[in-house]
Structure 1
Amino acid sequence: MVAEPVQATVQTLKQLYSQATGFIDTQYDNVVNSDLYNNSYDKITKLNPFGETNGSIISIGNPPPPSPPPSPSHSAYGACSRMYQKVYDSINENRARYITLFSCVGLGGAAWLIYKRRKRNLSDSAEKRHKRRVPKLTNGARRDVVLIIGSPTEPLTRLIALDFEKRGFIVYLTILDENDSKYIESNPITDDVNYLNLNDKKGNMETHVSTFNQLLKLPVVPFPGAEAHTLNLVGVVFAPSLYFPIGPIENIAISSWAKLNDRVMTYLKLLSSGLIQLVRTQQAKLILVNPNILSALDMPYHAPESIFQNQLKHLFTTLTRELSSHGISVTQVRLGNLHISNQKLSSGPRIESLVNTEVRAWTSEMKQLYSDDFSRSQFKANPIKSTGGKGTSLRELYHLLFDLLYSEKRNPPVVYCGTGARGYDLICRIFPESWIEWFLK
């Protein structure tokens, strides 16, 4: 498990604090137990703290006769000076160690303060937006539209659509194939979500994009007597795909590869059929929500997911650089572990059940060749997917998407959301391929 940068900083600060405290306590004990300290303490306690006033002596009990004033060489001041000098010499000998120690503490503390201040500023900004609610017209009508490109059969896609609708967006969700159409007929998400059917054989992709563009231009009268208005496209969100076939590459059906290729081609056709021009005209934001952990590591037996997610990652990286000069904001939200369900993905019995279910459908030859290595790989992959226990709350993803859609500035090309997303991305960028291969074994 790889710790998040903030957690690693906190752990480092704790270790440095413990070392510094132990060193100071040791030096204190050495000074207190030294003969120099004891001699000086005895001399100080023997000094008469009371003096004569107007020829009379203030006494308590039977004080000893006043001793002659101590010479400067034996004064308490001289003893304290020597004690101070000893401590100073000790510190001076370990000066490099102290400089390193306090530099690390200072940098770690500064990073922690910056993180907390940034988080507080984001919270304050959210409060200014009335708890992330979509602004409405003066007559109370909704105007802002968000287009979600993804399959309604994906649980996270449906959750994102529902959250957008509750916050006040006019939501349009795509229907990509025949399975999506059948699913919507039997499992409607909500009556307030609209659909853009890209599987309609009556027209090509350019026709579908043009139809959606005409919907945005059509005057809307929310109620009788109200002033007509047109809709405003705020953003286009490419929703994540979470479920892919697993197993050896040579054992994956051709139909599975064809389905993945069709999905990528659908996205490319949309971008090449006027969607970018529509985004440019409406001054909307483009956002790709992309699971990052397994695809970043290129985990064995997860080739379909790795290929599909990395294709989208490279596509949107190129698109970001092409459209930056046009003022169009294109952002990738790279996901780590999110708390989508209460099922514990890393539990031994659940992983064993998944492995047995998958292997049972293989031929005897595939079982002999891959079953043992596949089982070991799944026991490695599922805990990685479950980094951080239950994972990050979905509320953080909802808030991030809302903030990106309504950001007054151009959004960054890449942002992270979810436990492990940034950590595993850094691992793959920093460490050599041989180290990652050893880690995955």
Structure 2
Amino acid sequence: MPDFVDSVFDLSNIVFQQSKNLIAGSCDHMRAIWINNTPPPTPTHHSIIDTFISQFSRLDLKTVFLATVLGGIGTYRYLHHSKTQRRARMLPNGRRFEAVLIVGSPTSIVVQKLVNDLNRRGYIVYVTVTNELEVKAIESERDADIKPLLLNYDSALTIRTSLLRLASILETPELSHIGDESNSYFLHFKGALIIADYFKYPKYSKLVEIEPRDFNAMIQNQFLKINALLQNGLISALQESNNRRNEIEKFNGVNISNCPSKLVFVNFLPISTKEKRRLFLDFTLDINNLLFEYTYKENRKKYSGISSILSSKNSDYINIAKLQVNFHQDEESKLLSSGFNILTLSNMFSGIRNKKLTSRKFHHQVFDLLNSNALKKVYTISA
């Protein structure tokens, strides 16, 4: 019996050892197969921010500075270019239909430059004239879209008669081609700019020096004539333009928007460090500002309460504002300087006040006032 047990034990041990070796060999074989067929581990993906930081850290500091400067210049030029695309609306056939009236002397260099700028931006520009010299100044422009509006200031009746010519032009359809009424259109009265000319008055430093005829001429030109023009048809023409806005939109087939017609007083205040004889200039500015204040108050009374909040819903609402231009002049006027030179650039970085007020800055401000849906009371440009 023990021999039988021992033989069975020996046989079992042999079987166990063989099974153990077989299992071990199988495991080694499976391990070899697993190792050879297992795909490589997935590479770690860095985030975009990590990649940017890694690349940025490799850049040279000079390269970073240069890229920043060039990027800033490029951004400025893009924003400046997009902002300066100030153009009047046109009809679908490309014709002009927005009109602006300038109340000022066409012999003034300020008025001349503004007239030409508005004309280049697509406006039909009417300029008030009172004598043959001013008519010739308009005719010398040689542009059919720069037109004179003859004014007679002898009485309220003659002023109304003069402004009726403008009203007749606005109410009569224009013809794209002579004899072809199918392409007719109406003009839209965009606004009026009152530009007082302070540069032709004599210079006084004391009250006793003022001549009565000079003072009377100042009162006439800076207060009485302008006020008579406003009260005898100009404000009514602007209100009527708003009343006809929807009709003009449908007839012309172009969107005018809810932008009310504008009445803008433009005042130039020359600031000179050497000129001491500016007493008369101060008088003329005060008189003109007084006219603006009373005109502003009288017309704002009509639009108090809800109508002032919803001004775009009030068809006869007009916007009234004042644009004051402060410019420095020493030996010569800096107002009409243009261009961007290296001295201007150095002044910007050195903190020195730039005395030159470019005409472009002034013209852009005028365009923005004419095309704003709402205006504040006073705007100031300083050089």
Task: Give the one of 388, 394, 398 matched to 2:363.
Answer: 398
Shift of 1:239: 1.4
> Is it true that 1:249 corresponds to 2:207 in the alignment?
yes
Q: Which residue of 1 aligns with 2:264?
A: 287
SS of equivalent to 2:184 = coil
Pairing partner for 2:102 from 131, 148, 152: 148
Deviations 1:89-116 (A, max 9, x none): xxxxxxxxxxxxxxxxxxxxxxxxxxxx
Query: CA contact under 8 A between 2:271 and 2:326: conserved in structure 1?
Result: no
- 2:322 aligns to what SS in structure 1? strand
SS of 2:95's equivalent in the other structure is coil
Worse-matched range after superposition: 210-219 or 183-192: 183-192
Distance 1:241 1:126, change over 3 A: farther
Q: TM-score by structure 2 length?
A: 0.58
Residue 416 of structure 1 is matched in structure 2 by 380
**Mapped contact 1:391–1:418 kept (Cα < 8 A):** no
Q: 2:82 aligns with which of 127, 140, 147?
A: 127
Measure how far apart 1:321 and its partner are: 2.9
**Which of residues 139, 161, 164 is equivalent to 1:210?**
164
The one-letter code sitting in structure 1 at the alignment partner of 2:282 is: S
Between the aligned partners of 1:258 and 1:152, the Cα distance in structure 2 is 22
CA distance in 2, matches of 1:303, 1:343: 19
In the alignment, does 2:318 pair up with 1:328?
Answer: yes
For residue 237 of structure 2, the aligned residue among 278, 281, 299 is: 278
Deviation per residue, 1:43-94 (Å, 9 max, x gap): xxxxxxxxxxxxxxxxxxxxxxxxxxxxxxxxxxxxxxxxxxxxxxxxxxxx
Does the aligned pair in 2 maintain the 1:289–1:332 contact within 8 Å? yes
Alignment of 1:417-436 (within 5 A): 417-419=381-383
Identity of aligned residues (%): 22
Q: For residue 434 of structure 1, what is the aligned residue in structure 2?
A: none
Q: Is the counterpart of residue 232 in structure 1 residue 188 in structure 2?
A: yes
Aligned-residue RMSD, C-alpha: 3.2
For residue 72 of structure 1, what is the aligned residue in structure 2?
Answer: none
Unaligned runs of 5+ in 1: 1-119, 347-386, 420-441
SS in 1 for 2:183: coil
The equivalences for 1:131-210 within 5 A come to: 131-176=85-130, 178=131, 181-185=132-136, 188-192=139-143, 193-199=146-152, 204-210=158-164
- SS of the aligned residue for 1:199 comes to coil
Matched-pair contact (CA < 8 Å) for 1:216–1:230 = yes
Structure 2: distance between partners of 1:335 and 1:175:
23
Q: 1:126: Cα distance to partner?
A: 8.2
Flag the structure with higher strand content.
2
Deviations 1:252-305 (Å, cap 9, x if unpaired)?
Answer: 33332222122121101111102111111213100011123669x9x9632322
Aligned residue for 2:311?
Answer: none
Q: Distance in 2 between matches of 1:405 and 1:345?
A: 26
Map 1:77-156 → 2, pairs under 5 A: 127=82, 131-156=85-110
Query: Does residue 314 of the first structure (1) align with residue 269 of the second (2)?
Result: no
More helix per residue: 1
Cα distance change, pair 338–395 in 1 and its aligned pair in 2 (3 A): farther
C-alpha displacement of 1:401: 0.5
Partner SS, residue 291 of structure 1: strand
Q: What's the offset of the Cα at 1:338?
A: 6.7
- On the 8 A contact 1:338/1:394 being kept in 2, the answer is no
Q: In 2, Cα distance between the equivalents of 1:126 and 1:402?
A: 15
Name the SS of the counterpart of 2:177 in structure 1.
Answer: coil
Residue 258 (str. 1) matches residue 216 (str. 2): yes
Return closer, same or farther for 1:345/1:161 CA change in 2, 3 Å cut-off.
Answer: closer
Q: Deviations over 1:388-429 (max 9, x none)?
A: 454221111101110110112x1110001122xxxxxxxxxx
Task: State the structure with more CA Rg.
Answer: 2
Residue in structure 1 matched with residue 43 of structure 2 by the alignment: none
Q: Note if contact 1:337-1:388 (Cα within 8 Å) is conserved in structure 2.
A: no
Structure-2 separation of matches of 1:260 and 1:135: 38
TM-score (norm 1): 0.51
Deviation at 1:229, TM superposition (A): 1.0
